Chains A and B, each alone.
Chain A
């Protein structure tokens, strides 16, 4: 006999289909198969159909910029939630990758197909090298230094009047046409989103997650924490520099605004909205935030206020982020139980 005292509590239970699809039984029927593949297909098909859904020149630009931010958010989420490094260096990566691509294109005459990967790898190495000194330290140092570098580099370019100074580098080649420009970027974004998600579940990824959870145990296992941190920073920096290099070919111009704080801050906001640690969440966060900030352009400087309000609302009411919330609803059902 149970006596109810009128108190209830929410219980969350995994759906049967979720448990079934974890093993080999995922292949047992169409229903299980679609349970696993539909969310992924929605993302892929959704992304691929964006250029058709919004074909105007204005929205075409918004879509590409959104993808640039999404790459940065992906790299931020990877570093913050899988390696434990809070990186405020989005602008650092974009600027470095952007200027390298610009130099490679204007000075050496290399086409975009060469400059983008080249700037990604060289820029990634350069950024990693510059961030190296603060990697052995725990705490906020990495965040501070990564925030500082873009400010420093922008001022150096301005003060010494090198690399075009305040005018920037102009006359950079663009992509052959807008479809190539859009689809190539969307392809890269999808590939990297799924690629990074795969990476964090490989053995190397587990070590990186170990660095976040418990760096002392990594040391006790005979592995250098600094070494694995620098590998992770390199991966993130390559993604960031890649987006920067792509950006200058879209704008056909590289300037000190590539070091703007937006590139550091917006990806973080997108991660908060999308749900940190899901890797897909930050991408979705960008798909929401960047167009919203475009729509708010009519309000002039007031748009920052709306922007901030949206962020604050999310932090208060859905601090877990959209993707985490969505995943929970998808995988689990809830019911009230008497206590």
Chain B
């Protein structure tokens, strides 16, 4: 956890007209960790994801990836460097079967360079590689699920498909925007080991979450945002103990409950 951070966010500010969505937010992400970002509604969580991945233009501030300035790069260049993201509102290719959804990212320059998932990437092989990835992520290979049209899949599978789309690029950083939200307890329970396995594979994760209990279980460090400003940064216990967080975010009684579960 020492040395140069894999991602450094430096005083990033984003204003939508007169509304300041982010104001001088700075933090580091270290290689191999799971960083949680939490905050009440409208605190700028998704905006920071969009700023890092280049989907929106920052008003000011810089973002560095392994020491390289990526602040002004377009989103596809940033993804090509290995920073991938999921979308809070799922964005599958609705008309295609689930495994064909993965053929598209496997066609990307990065996937061609890194050789797909496990050695595939030759022409015509993307279908099998796609099904392999889906199996890793929890689609039953022998069932009909990987072959179903994305528009007919339930939310849980769509969230997994989002993650699978990221993994197809063999990313170094995955930014999950509320990957647990909208899932049932059992779906989350099966998702958590998946996240842990990604970390064991050496992927750095940034997780934007509302589901605090699950987040605290997997994350190494947590950042709390409130009204576009960084409130505090630290390990889950420290963050939860902080009175500022209690006040801004939960109301003190809820914190006790969450802490007891964590």
Seen from chain A, the residues whose Cβ lies within 8 Å of a Cβ on chain B are 203-204, 206-207, 209-210, 213-214, 216-225
Contacts and interface: CB of A to CB of B under 8 A. Distances in A.
Contacts of A225: 76
Interface string B48-63: 0000010100000000
A225 to B, nearest CB: 7
Nearest to B109: A222
B86 to A, nearest CB: 8
A206 B74 CA distance: 22
Contact of B92 (A214, A218, A219, A223): A214
Given A206-B96, A222-B110, A223-B109, A216 B103 contact: no
Contacts of A216: 55, 87, 91
A260 to B, nearest CB: 35
A209 B100 CA distance: 11
Contacts, number: 82
A217 B77 CA distance: 13
Contacts of B111: 222
Contact of A221 (B94, B95, B100, B165): B165
B79 interface: yes
B165 A217 contact: yes
A207 B95 CA distance: 12
A221 B92 contact: no
Contacts of A221: 76, 79, 84, 104-105, 108, 165, 168-169
A214 B93 contact: yes
Given A204-B107, A206-B100, A224 B95 contact: no
A219 B103 contact: no
Given A216-B55, A217-B165, A219-B76, A209 B93 contact: yes
A118 to B, nearest CB: 29
Contacts of A214: 91-94
A163 to B, nearest CB: 39
B197 interface: no
Contacts of A206: 93, 96, 100, 103-104, 107
Contact of A223 (B55, B76, B91, B166): B76
Q: Which 9 residue pairs spanning A and B have beta carbons closest together?
A: A222-B79, A221-B105, A222-B80, A219-B75, A222-B108, A217-B91, A222-B110, A210-B104, A213-B93
B105 A203 contact: no
B55 to A, nearest CB: 7
B123 interface: yes
23 contacts: A203-B106, A203-B123, A206-B93, A206-B100, A206-B107, A207-B104, A209-B96, A210-B93, A213-B95, A214-B94, A216-B87, A217-B87, A217-B91, A217-B93, A220-B55, A220-B85, A220-B166, A221-B76, A221-B108, A222-B105, A222-B169, A224-B74, A224-B76
Contacts of A223: 76, 107-109
B97 to A, nearest CB: 10
A252 to B, nearest CB: 44
B105 to A, nearest CB: 4
B126 interface: yes
Contacts of B106: 203
Contacts of B166: 220
B90 to A, nearest CB: 9
Contacts of B96: 206, 209-210, 213
Contact of B79 (A203, A213, A220): A220
A107 B77 CA distance: 45
- Interface hub of B93, B108, B111, B165 (most chain A Cβ within 10 A): B93
